[in-house]
Structure 1
Amino acid sequence: MNCNFAFAHYQEILTEAQALGYACVSFRDLLDGKASGADRVLLLRHDIDFTVVNALRLAQIEHDQGATASYFVRLHALHYNPFALTAMRQLHEIQRLGGELGLHYEAPYAAALGFDDDEGLRREKLILETGLAISVQGVCPHEVVRTNTMVLPEEAVSAAGFRYQAYAPQFFGGFKYLSDSSARWREGCVCGWLGRQDRLYVLTHGFWWYEETPLENY
């Protein structure tokens, strides 16, 4: 394969993964046991940091491939408003295609307003669910290295009504974790890990992915 961030390569990755016997699933589907009969699992996560439209393109590819993934939505992004009509329709379409929507929690924002994580998580889950008219099961902190909030307080997560958090040990410790942060696979593209590790947890950010050239995104 020609490793790059073209959407066509993402489709190649899913095709190869399924040929090798991986169940390509979201967090929700994993917890619901939809990969229980698979010897290999590819856990798919997308953080929607800058653009919803690219996330939707990934969801379309996954739908065509019979895969599912979890998409974590920011409430305070400068570049998109999840409640604007266009973005809301795109998010609903991601869900219709089988994608799971979760909260991409920004702890510094809550702290700037004087909220602790108990109140921040509760408020933001309510806002996301009410604004999009959906039910949210998962939460994942935004910019974990910069904010040092990879693992949120489990008591606050549970009290807010979340079923899981994305960096819980059952996921982060039980899988080989790969991320495309800053458009760079630090341990090599995920395609190079297929067949080498039976349990892969892959994080992508739609902003880095493109049809023909990265210039499409900026």
Structure 2
Amino acid sequence: MTLGAVPRGFSWSGYRALIQAFLDRGYAVKLFGDLDPTKSHLVLRHDIDFSLRAAVDIARIEADMGVRANYYVLLQTEFYNLCSPEDWARVVEIAELGHDVGLHFDASRYDADLEMLEAAVARECSVLAAIMGREVTTVSFHRPAQSLLGLARPLAGRLHAYQPRFFSEIAYVADSRGLFRYGHPLDHEAFAAAKAMQLLTHPIWWPQAEAEDKMSLLDDLLQQRQDLLLSEAIANCKPYAEYRGRRASVNHG
């Protein structure tokens, strides 16, 4: 397959083709701790803002291709719950596929003082490690403040994705808002020269088949979440189950 013929759609097949293009170019896929900025190394980073289910799909694709990626999960979010049986199993599966699961840290919930952020990162990493049953060694920021971009020091003794050697001293490409707004990774000058790159993607934007409207993916996610909460309410509250049954009878009467 020539470079120009590589599919560029936001779908499972498009993602597989994208990673294969890097492998064909001679890149080695590395975790953050193993990156050598002087070599043809690619760091794959996934910030899980919305859907752990979508993250598992991408994690399986990567494992099938023999590559490992960095996945970052939020502790403080309304979109998933790491302590629920299904979401806990998803995080464990991602880790067992060989990927590194780190903390997606929302600094906006804390005071901007670095010492307070250090303490908060340490606390959240400890909680995540307890949930997963394994250590948390890396962090990425959720909607990072400008002051945190390019912060050279580790946080709470852990690498973070915006340290200069990962962010500004090598190429950095992201699919924020479901688009490569500043150019496709395969068009980047670093790719042409086979230089080190960090590629950030968000699994929600990469469904099995490409969506005509990216925002519809969030509609689908919210509907799934509503359906799950409804089924759980019915399963855990008999009076509510009876209430729903009466409503259904009236509506179909």
Judging changes above 3 Å, is the alpha-carbon distance between structure 1 residues 42 and 128 closer, same or farther for their aligned structure 2 residues?
same
Q: Equivalent residue of 1:104, what SS?
A: strand
1:13 corresponds to 2:18 = yes
2:32 corresponding residue in structure 1: 27
Instruction: Please tell me whether the aligned partners of residues 40 and 198 of structure 1 are also in contact (alpha carbons under 8 angstroms).
Output: yes
Instruction: Please tell me whether the aligned partners of residues 51 and 80 of structure 2 are also in contact (alpha carbons under 8 angstroms).
Output: yes
Match of 2:8 among 3, 15, 30: 3
Instruction: Please tell me whether the aligned partners of residues 70 and 100 of structure 1 are also in contact (alpha carbons under 8 angstroms).
Output: yes
Task: Quote the Cα distance in structure 1 between the aligned partners of 2:42 and 2:152.
Answer: 26
Match of 1:174 among 161, 165, 169: 169
Letter in 2 for 1:150: L
Q: Equivalent residue of 1:111, what SS?
A: coil
Task: Quote the Cα distance in structure 2 between the aligned partners of 1:6 and 1:83.
Answer: 29
1:154 corresponds to 2:150 = no
TM (norm. structure 1) is: 0.85
Q: Within 5 Å, which residues of 2 pair with 1:107-186?
A: 107-111=107-111, 116-144=116-144, 148-151=147-150, 154=153, 157=155, 160-162=156-158, 164-186=159-181
Task: Quote the Cα distance in structure 1 between the aligned partners of 2:208 and 2:218.
Answer: 10
Q: Equivalent residue of 1:123, what SS?
A: helix
- CA deviations 1:74-125 (Å, max 9, x no partner) are 001111012211111111111111110111111122339xx92132112111
RMSD (CA atoms):
2.3
- CA deviations 1:9-41 (Å, max 9, x no partner) are 1100111211111001221343xxxx79x9411
Match of 1:204 among 201, 204, 212: 201
1:69 corresponds to 2:69 = yes
Q: Equivalent residue of 2:199, what SS?
A: strand
2:86 corresponding residue in structure 1: 86
Shift of 1:3: 1.7
Instruction: Please tell me whether the aligned partners of residues 174 and 199 of structure 1 are also in contact (alpha carbons under 8 angstroms).
Output: no
User: Structure 2: which 5+ residue stretches go unaligned?
Assistant: 1-5, 220-253
Query: Which structure dedicates a bigger proportion of its chain to helix?
Result: 2
Judging changes above 3 Å, is the alpha-carbon distance between structure 1 residues 198 and 118 closer, same or farther for their aligned structure 2 residues?
closer
Shift of 1:73: 0.8
User: Which gives a bigger RCO, structure 1 or 2 (Cα 8 Å, sep 6+)?
Assistant: 1
Instruction: Please tell me whether the aligned partners of residues 69 and 100 of structure 2 are also in contact (alpha carbons under 8 angstroms).
Output: yes
Q: Equivalent residue of 2:111, what SS?
A: helix
1:192 corresponding residue in structure 2: 187
1:46 corresponds to 2:51 = no
Shift of 1:209: 1.0
Shift of 1:217: 4.7
User: Structure 1: which 5+ residue stretches go unaligned?
Assistant: none
Instruction: Please tell me whether the aligned partners of residues 176 and 201 of structure 2 are also in contact (alpha carbons under 8 angstroms).
Output: yes
Say which one has the larger Rg.
2
Task: Quote the Cα distance in structure 2 between the aligned partners of 1:66 and 1:217.
Answer: 29
Task: Quote the Cα distance in structure 2 between the aligned partners of 1:152 and 1:41.
Answer: 22
Letter in 1 for 2:77: A
Instruction: Please tell me whether the aligned partners of residues 14 and 24 of structure 1 are also in contact (alpha carbons under 8 angstroms).
Output: no
Instruction: Please tell me whether the aligned partners of residues 48 and 71 of structure 2 are also in contact (alpha carbons under 8 angstroms).
Output: yes
Letter in 2 for 1:135: E
